[in-house]
Chain A
Amino acid sequence: MAPSIRDRVIAVIVCAAHLSPDQALDPSTPLIGSGISLDSIAVLELLVGLEREFRIELNPDELVRTGALKTAGTLAQFIDSQVKRST
């Protein structure tokens, strides 16, 4: 079975933020402000990683404005909607 968008988003977060592969990351994990507390560099790497993984274009302002970066789960929802929009 193909991995879900959520699992793929979490894999990109782990890779882009250079987290330990064994660090538990679930949909409720906050990404910025608390939780894994990504800095601006990691957010940019995440953005580029997501664009490559899902073959979409992302607008960083939109990610911030919509609160998509709040948790791994909200980011997965946002990516899901972007993927559907582009197909």
Chain B
Amino acid sequence: MLHELLAQSASLFCGRVAIVEGNRTLRYGELLDAVEAMSGHLLEWGLPVGETVALQVPNSIEFVVSLFAVGRLGATMLLLDPALKAGEADDYCRRAGAGALLLSPETPGGAEKGGLRACRVPPIEALGNAARYPATRSLAYGGHGPVLLLSSGTAGRPKAVVATAAQVGAYVRSCDAACAYTQEDKALAVLPFFHAFGLQHVLLPALARGATVVVASFSPRGTAALIERERITVLTGVPLMFRLLAETEFQGEPDFSCIRLAISGGSALSPAVARRFQDKYGVAIGQSYGTTEAGLVSFAPPGEQVERPGWVGRPYPGVTVEIRSPSGDLLGPGVEGEICVRSPASTSGYLGEPAEGTDTFRKDCVGTGDIGCSDEAGRLFLTGRVKPMLDVAGKKVSPTEVEACLRSHPSVADVLVVGTETPDGDERVKAFVVPASGVTALELQEFCATKLAEYKVPRQIAFVEDLSRGAMGKTRTTAPDEMER
């Protein structure tokens, strides 16, 4: 699907600009050439064609070229968060049976120590012309393997979700129904491409329609300046980005009139943030709701305001949303239950687990792990979660994983990890620790940061004598007695 998408766009939009990153610009025809050259480079390096290849590269032209090159070579690709520590990346690679790891020159190394072959992806300017690599031309394209996307799982340690080429294609088509990218669009890509939302809601649908993808890292002033300078037409972000843009004071208010579509996803957008952003910039924010496992679920167009919290729109075309009881019975309008999805964009299952019959992947649907209800008009509302899963600015964190890390510290006798809500309605990781010996919060934070990506490190650590409710005071929904459900 990836290679077909690029080949078609390169033929339709050859001379148009595909990607902008800083002062580097790549046209569609040049992108296809760079992919052929990168494929050749990876073949010469000894990329194990037909095996799984892990990609741990931050958003960049090199990420895009490597992604399509790995697809071109027919490999299954495992997309890793560049923020993952070497141990975390190595764990994913081992469980996915990855034969090689592609890193950016800046990614901290370490995975090589685990015996995995690692290749530093060169800047495309160093690759030279595709004609230099005859091996690629002689290699027939036979379709690419699945894309493996990271998921924090529903409990326990993180997992990889298997998205086939057909499922990735269905996700991109769903997105197209809402975003309707055209070759006149400039899509700002500040969301990470290793994540389903950044990959399938920004990069792929924009490239499929000949739009220009502007790659940048997010900072409120930098992003605001970029939106004005590049005349960005589609802005896709997580709620935190919209909040920070709304909170930043400018000497002269930036002109966002170029934006035709602003979409928030990854976690629930509070009506207050949406209002502040619209008041400041005159741009209404739509919402796209989905999960890595289930694919895109529902869309709330920007103009449609619903004051009731948790509103995430109506199901995407081709997506059937059902609200189910814990025993699997269908529930009617207004009744809360788990949001379950049947969609061609739903993924096949977790790598190494049965394709169905798990908590998430059931016989006839995929459970989102979110609690919600629909109304008579078919509008969907989120109200909670089935399993304790923390949401740090759109990145999902399994409390069990953080607990396991803290428990491995010799001074920790017992631990409970919960979400703590910030005044802005965001969530951060908090740990209640029963110490076995003297230890400080800072020591435990430093310990976690050697093993876990920083966003998983508890921001707050409270020392308690035991993990009873009385000792911990009021916590969020993940108190021990409720976690047993």
A in complex with B: yes
Assess the A41–B446 pair: CB atoms within 8 A: no
Task: Decide if the interface of chain B is mainly helix, strand, loop or mixed.
Answer: mixed
Contacts of A40 in B (CB 8 A): 83, 454-455
Given A44-B218, A45-B244, CB of A39 within 8 Å of CB of B445: no
With both beta carbons as reference points, the residue of chain A lying nearest to B441 in the complex is identified as A23
Residue in B240, B244, B392, B457 whose CB lies within 8 Å of A37: B457
Residue in B220, B392, B442 whose CB lies within 8 Å of A36: B442
B449 at the interface (CB under 8 A from A): yes
Contacts of A44 in B (CB 8 A): 218-220, 240, 244
Query: A37-79: contact bitstring with B at CB < 8 Å (1 yes, 0 no)?
Result: 1111110110110011000010110000000000000000000
Residue in A18, A24, A34, A60 whose CB lies within 8 Å of B219: A60
Given A44-B219, A45-B244, A48-B244, CB of A39 within 8 Å of CB of B442: no
Q: Can you spell out 9 A-B residue pairs with CB atoms less than 8 angstroms apart?
A: A20-B460, A23-B441, A24-B441, A29-B442, A36-B442, A37-B448, A37-B449, A48-B220, A51-B249
Chain A residue total in the interface (Cβ 8 A): 26
Given A41-B392, A57-B221, CB of A36 within 8 Å of CB of B462: no
Contacts of B218 in A (CB 8 A): 44
Q: Which of B129-158 contact A (CB under 8 A)?
A: none
Assess the B422–A39 pair: CB atoms within 8 A: no
Q: Which of B184-198 contact A (CB under 8 A)?
A: none
A19 at the interface (CB under 8 A from B): yes
A41 vs B139: C-alpha distance in the bound complex, in angstroms? Answer: 43
Given A18-B420, A48-B247, A51-B248, CB of A41 within 8 Å of CB of B459: no
Assess the A34–B449 pair: CB atoms within 8 A: yes
Query: B227-271: contact bitstring with A at CB < 8 Å (1 yes, 0 no)?
Result: 000000000000010001001110000000000000000000000
Task: Decide if the interface of chain A is mainly helix, strand, loop or mixed.
Answer: loop
With both beta carbons as reference points, the residue of chain A lying nearest to B392 in the complex is identified as A41
A11 at the interface (CB under 8 A from B): no
Contacts of B222 in A (CB 8 A): 60
B165 at the interface (CB under 8 A from A): no
Assess the A39–B457 pair: CB atoms within 8 A: yes
With both beta carbons as reference points, the residue of chain B lying nearest to A59 in the complex is identified as B221
- Tell me, rounded to whole Å, the shortest Cβ–Cβ distance linking B455 to chain A: 4
A48 vs B208: C-alpha distance in the bound complex, in angstroms? Answer: 36
Assess the B455–A20 pair: CB atoms within 8 A: no
Assess the A34–B446 pair: CB atoms within 8 A: yes
- Tell me, rounded to whole Å, the shortest Cβ–Cβ distance linking A64 to chain B: 11
With both beta carbons as reference points, the residue of chain A lying nearest to B238 in the complex is identified as A41
Residue in B428, B454, B455 whose CB lies within 8 Å of A18: B428
Assess the B461–A24 pair: CB atoms within 8 A: no
Contacts of B420 in A (CB 8 A): 18
Residue in B441, B445, B449, B455 whose CB lies within 8 Å of A41: B455
B393 at the interface (CB under 8 A from A): yes
- Tell me, rounded to whole Å, the shortest Cβ–Cβ distance linking A16 to chain B: 10
Assess the A35–B446 pair: CB atoms within 8 A: yes
Assess the B393–A37 pair: CB atoms within 8 A: no
A20 vs B430: C-alpha distance in the bound complex, in angstroms? Answer: 9
A71 vs B177: C-alpha distance in the bound complex, in angstroms? Answer: 47
A18 vs B221: C-alpha distance in the bound complex, in angstroms? Answer: 22
Assess the B459–A17 pair: CB atoms within 8 A: yes
- Tell me, rounded to whole Å, the shortest Cβ–Cβ distance linking A86 to chain B: 12
Given A35-B445, A60-B219, CB of A19 within 8 Å of CB of B83: no
B440 at the interface (CB under 8 A from A): yes
Residue in A39, A42, A52 whose CB lies within 8 Å of B453: A39
Contacts of A19 in B (CB 8 A): 459-460
- Tell me, rounded to whole Å, the shortest Cβ–Cβ distance linking A23 to chain B: 5
Contacts of B428 in A (CB 8 A): 18
- Tell me, rounded to whole Å, the shortest Cβ–Cβ distance linking A59 to chain B: 7
Assess the B249–A52 pair: CB atoms within 8 A: yes
With both beta carbons as reference points, the residue of chain A lying nearest to B453 in the complex is identified as A39
A32 vs B83: C-alpha distance in the bound complex, in angstroms? Answer: 13
Q: Shortest 9 CB-CB distances between A and B: which pairs?
A: A39-B454, A37-B449, A39-B455, A20-B460, A60-B219, A18-B459, A18-B428, A41-B393, A37-B454
Assess the B220–A37 pair: CB atoms within 8 A: no
Give the interface centre of A36, A51, A52 by most chain B CB atoms within 10 Å. Answer: A36
Q: Which of B206-222 contact A (CB under 8 A)?
A: 218-222
With both beta carbons as reference points, the residue of chain B lying nearest to A32 in the complex is identified as B454
- Tell me, rounded to whole Å, the shortest Cβ–Cβ distance linking A12 to chain B: 13
Given contacts A23-B461, A29-B442, 15 further A-B contacts (CB under 8 A): A17-B459, A18-B420, A18-B422, A19-B459, A19-B460, A32-B454, A34-B449, A37-B449, A37-B457, A39-B83, A39-B453, A44-B220, A48-B244, A48-B248, A52-B247
- Tell me, rounded to whole Å, the shortest Cβ–Cβ distance linking A14 to chain B: 10
Assess the A37–B441 pair: CB atoms within 8 A: no
Give the interface centre of A18, A23, A24, A42 by most chain B CB atoms within 10 Å. Answer: A18
Contacts of B448 in A (CB 8 A): 37
Assess the B422–A47 pair: CB atoms within 8 A: no
Assess the A35–B454 pair: CB atoms within 8 A: no
A40 vs B455: C-alpha distance in the bound complex, in angstroms? Answer: 8
